[in-house]
Amino acid sequence: MTTSLPLSPDYDAWPIEADLEAVSFTSRLLTVRWSDGRESRYHGIWLRENAADETTVNPATRERILDLSTLPGWPEITGAEIDEAGALCVNFVTDVGYLRFHPGWLRAHDYDNAGDPEPPLVPVTLWYGGTEASPDSLDASDLFDTEPFCEAEEAILAPALMSVLSKGIVRLRGLPTEPDSLKAIAQRIGPIRPTNFGLLFDVKAKPDPDSNAYTSIALPPHTDLPTREYHPGLQILHCLENSVEGGEAVMLDGFAVAEALRERDPKAFTTLTRVRWCYANTARTTDYVWYSPMIRLDHRGELLEVRIADFLRGPLQIPFDEVESAYEALMTLQRMLREPGFAIRFTYEPGDAVIFDNRRLLHARDAFEGTSGHRWLQGCYMERDEIRSRYRMVQRARRRRRLTTEV
Ligand SMILES: [Fe+2]
């Protein structure tokens, strides 16, 4: 008699929201009824390839080893029942006997009743600026007193990750101000993406600069490294020193600006989702060039990224008749980027680290007086994947704790 539930085909924990009560099947389709009355249908082929047994998944890695093309035929269902442990048992005519499915996993992957097959991890919240606005700010002074992946670290990271996923920005405060400590801060989330500017880059006025960022002039609203095929999804700027006059940071939600453009001037919006601008750096030792629309949408028509940096835009190379409408759309967007209602302004304090979505937010900087003091930020890039993965790990840890408590 089997009294324990089977593994799921992953490393996650799947609390049981409802029990399996009844099962019926045809050769290709299986239907279950749950204790709360919901009915879910699963295709036999889907069940076969998502089994967790050793013919389907490598037990060491939990990665699939089953190759569907090696099955002797379509995996038709010949039997199904709910066992004593509450697992779904399915018998297939081909290659294996019966396979067991974890009810919590099965319910969580109920594609028959899924409203949105790819729900966002955290819903996107657009934001606007103004004099009262400031980024979500969190005290992270205890971060380095916590062990990685423990509950105390999670208490600091979880709300930070949530702010980045929903608003594209968070400001952590009270962090160390030792040079290079950004490396350890970033690695609490995930690996850093190195670029030609290094693993970490120093944002301060320096002689012989290879970017406008390394001068004391004002920078217009921009995303970093639009010259890359895949421009970095995240940027972290960590303040080590700031005693200069000026140099206030400015941030805008590029998605809020783009949505406002869609509303006010749909033609300009559509133009900017189609025209492929040239982004090119003109550095002495590197030569990055990429062509892309300024606004990109996902398969649902939702905003995926904005790619804006006037000082890195190369000569437009598009069909002759489209040039004027492209520039009209661009100038409409540029005027909106200057509207104070979109911008938040703040001054970096030593020990602040601002984490922001570089494919959503635009950042800018006022000019500062290079001789009035010192302004030293260190920065690095990461990918959006790292924030999403880390946030899922937090959710996984919470589910696991919930399971342990229930047991
Ligand atoms: Fe920048």
Q: Where are the domains of the chain?
A: 20-119, 137-393
DSSP code of 96?
S
Among residues 86, 116, 89, the alpha carbon closest in space to that of 104 is found at 86
Res 2: pLDDT? 63
The alpha carbon of 348 and the centre of ligand 1 are apart by a number of angstroms equal to 15
Under CATH, which number does the domain 20-119 receive?
Answer: 3.30.2020.30
Distance CA 95, CA 48 (A): 10
Res 208: pLDDT? 73
Cβ < 5 A residues, ion ligand 1: 224
Q: Assign a CATH topology to domain 137-393.
A: Double-stranded beta-helix (3.60.130)
Beta-bridge mates of residue 382? 234
Res 139: pLDDT? 96
Per-position DSSP letters for 261-311, written without gaps between them: HHHH-HHHHHHHHH--EEEE---SS---EEEE-SEEE-TTS-EEEE---GG
Among residues 394, 391, 383, 306, the alpha carbon closest in space to that of 120 is found at 391
Pairing of strands 137-139, 169-173: parallel
The alpha carbon of 126 and the centre of ligand 1 are apart by a number of angstroms equal to 21
The alpha carbon of 189 and the centre of ligand 1 are apart by a number of angstroms equal to 21
* Mean pLDDT taken over the chain: 92
State pLDDT tens for residues 62-92.
Answer: 999 999 998 888 999 999 999 999 999 999 9
Torsion of CA 114, 116, 121, 124, to 10 degrees: -150
Pairing of strands 343-346, 98-101: unpaired
Distance CA 52, CA 64 (A): 9
Res 369: pLDDT? 66
The alpha carbon of 362 and the centre of ligand 1 are apart by a number of angstroms equal to 8
Res 212: pLDDT? 72
- 378, containing H or E segment: strand 375-382
Is the alpha carbon torsion for 332, 334, 339, 342 positive or negative?
positive
The alpha carbon of 97 and the centre of ligand 1 are apart by a number of angstroms equal to 58
Instruction: Give the burial class of 302: count Cβ atoms within 10 A of its Cβ; 0-12 exposed, 13-18 middle, 19 or more buried.
Output: exposed
Beta-bridge mates of residue 163? none
- Contact in structure between 293 and 304 (CB atoms under 8 Å): no
The alpha carbon of 173 and the centre of ligand 1 are apart by a number of angstroms equal to 20
State pLDDT tens for residues 113-123.
Answer: 998 878 889 99
Please give the C-alpha separations between residue 88 and each of 83, 173, 201, in angstroms, as whole numbers. Answer: 7, 49, 54
Q: Residue 63 corresponds to which tokens in the numbers above?
A: 């990665």
The alpha carbon of 247 and the centre of ligand 1 are apart by a number of angstroms equal to 13
Beta-carbon contacts of residue 213 (< 8 Å; ≥ 6 apart): 203, 219
Res 405: pLDDT? 76
Res 370: pLDDT? 62
- Spell out, as residue ranges, where the chain has pLDDT lower than 50: none
